Amino acid sequence: MALRCKQERRFSITLLLAGLLCSVIPAVQAEENFDPATHPQVRAMLDSLSEQGLPSRELDAAMVAAEYRPQVLDAMSHAAERRLRWDEYRDIFIQPQRIQQGVAFLKANHEALARAERVYGVPPEVVVAILGVETQYGRHKGTHRVLDSLSTLAFHHPSRGAFFRGELEAFLEITLGQGVDPSTLYGSYAGAMGYPQFIPTSYQAYAVDFDGDGLKDLWNNPVDAIGSIANYFSEHGWQRHQPVLVEAGGPETLPPSIGFNGTEPPSTPVEALKRVGIEPTAGNLVSTDKVVPLALDFADGHVRYVMGLNNFYVITRYNHSHLYAMAVATLAQRIQTTLDEGA
């Protein structure tokens, strides 16, 4: 169901509520029961949301409709897969088709992207690269019902249940607040949603109605997605007209005194890198400038040195991975180069 629909949506909940209130077989079969009438944690969450003004009947119906998905827990447990080399990770995203699709998306949405740059300072190619990495420009937004994913994680995850209960609450606030049936929306196994794959609390904090239609629609409206990504970066400290990274050269063996590939704010002085033989090969960095030292590995054993700047760090706020930030920066550069060449 599209969030852009402005008409009030009412759910077909009569039979569900009858089953709920009579305590018949719940919709979710698992070691824990999602039935709000019998599950204390669910009941407490729904009572709290109801006190905040959300309709209690729709809240109850949503949780009766929620289904336990063990595959979501399996996906979460395998999320920390073996660490990929940079060339392996790069080749997932830096492909001719994805670059050409990015150019086409940028051209089709150039007005919204130019406005986002004026308002938030984030270049079009960077916003487009985020969309390219996250959902291939909206082509792959996820196959998991968000309601199921978040309900499963909220009440079954062994260590992060409280975090995902907060995300579930935010999801219910977003959907019911806009008259949308929460059981109709799909996303990732972790509950990330729409074109930019915002989790619900990020949606609440950073989503914007960038086309002025009165709705923040990240599922079906690329204009709102563009503005929301740019706003996210701006709120996390994006520096207008500043680069993301600087290429560098260095020794074949990594200096043991330097910590590489972090996702913290730039803290290593350029001078400290120079002392161990790592020198910027471009840009106008001075010795006192602080950077994030990056050492990107390849199958043949060689290393590419890069100095991440503040905007590199900002990209890692979207996904706390240096490989992710490098993929976004690389895809953005390839899209812009292809555009400049007149593709």
Catalytic residues: 134
CA end-to-end distance (rounded Å), the chain? 35
Cβ proximity of 160 and 170 under 8 Å:
no
Give start and end residues of each alpha helix (H) in the chain: 14-21, 40-51, 56-65, 70-77, 86-93, 96-108, 110-120, 124-135, 146-156, 161-177, 200-206, 222-235, 270-275, 310-318, 322-340
* Interstrand relation of 290-297 and 268-269 (parallel, antiparallel or unpaired): antiparallel
CA distances from 272 to 148, 245, 277 (A): 49, 17, 9
Pairwise CA distance, residues 39 & 175, whole Å: 22
Pairwise CA distance, residues 231 & 140, whole Å: 22
Pairwise CA distance, residues 295 & 254, whole Å: 8
| Residue 40 dihedral angles phi and psi, to the nearest 5° | -60, -40
Cβ proximity of 156 and 34 under 8 Å:
no
Tokens standing for 101? 């699709």
Q: Which residue type does 313 have? A: Y
Question: Which residues does 18 contact at the CB level (< 8 Å), separation at least 6?
Answer: none
Pairwise CA distance, residues 160 & 305, whole Å: 35
